[in-house]
Structure 1
Amino acid sequence: MSTRLVVVTGSHRGTGQGIIHLLAKTQHEPPLTIYATSRVGPDLHIKPSYKNKVRYGKLDVGDKHSIKTFLSSTIKEGQAISVLICNAGINHNSNETSELAAQTIDVNYHGTKSMCEIFLDQGGMAKNKGSRIVNVSSTACQ
């Protein structure tokens, strides 16, 4: 049975976890295989409905090696990602220093940009007609 591959970053809590819950409980044709990713990659024990599947993986958007490793270990030959939901990021608003500001820009901008480029190329999204990249930002990180 074919499924549509969806990757959600920053899914271990908050908005990302909410996105996983909503996708897992919604009926889709074809069904979804949802990769819930975060730097720690915990199993959230989300019970999907219908024929959807939830998989868990480690993915640090600020680390190109982590991105490439995630793709090579989860995406099988001939598969392509249909949707990438970029939710991961860091926020140091309560403890601002120039070093932390640089880290925030590096992860939230450069990391997300690199991840999108790698997913388009190595994740097959550029060749997958109808694929989508969705960037999510909370009020705290705007």
Structure 2
Amino acid sequence: MALLLREALGDSLRRTRVSQSRTLREVSSSARVSLGYLSEVERGRKEASSELLAAICDALAVPLSDVLFDVSESLAERTLRRTGADVVMPGAYADQGSTHSESGVETVDAALLAQDPLLAQESLITQETRVVIPAPAARALAAA
């Protein structure tokens, strides 16, 4: 079963709050969100808006970017554990156990990542992940 973004966000927020030894009531009051709603967000049952996430992060005195980074790592680690997929590596990190695909992308076997924590931290994009950014149309650039 796939981990949903809202569940990963809730887990990260809860870990942060608990690590600060703070109660739901304290954080909900500081963030100006109902106790019940914050509880639902932490349990991954409610999808928090960006404004609500910002308010919760402010109440926890943690940058939203840190929470999102933590969520990204959690999702990537879970994907790796579930699929055992190879991971796309930047060339500087893939010096042993690496292969080149037909597209020239350098990859490292997931087993190698288990042996090297630095590689595991730097390598969170699976081979199935592809980001395609289309080039803007010439007219769109002229109009801007």
TM-score by length of 1: 0.25
Higher strand share: 1
Higher helix share: 2
Q: Compare relative contact order (CA 8 Å, sep 6+) and give the higher one, 1 or 2.
A: 1
TM-score by length of 2: 0.25
Query: Which structure has the larger Rg?
Result: 2
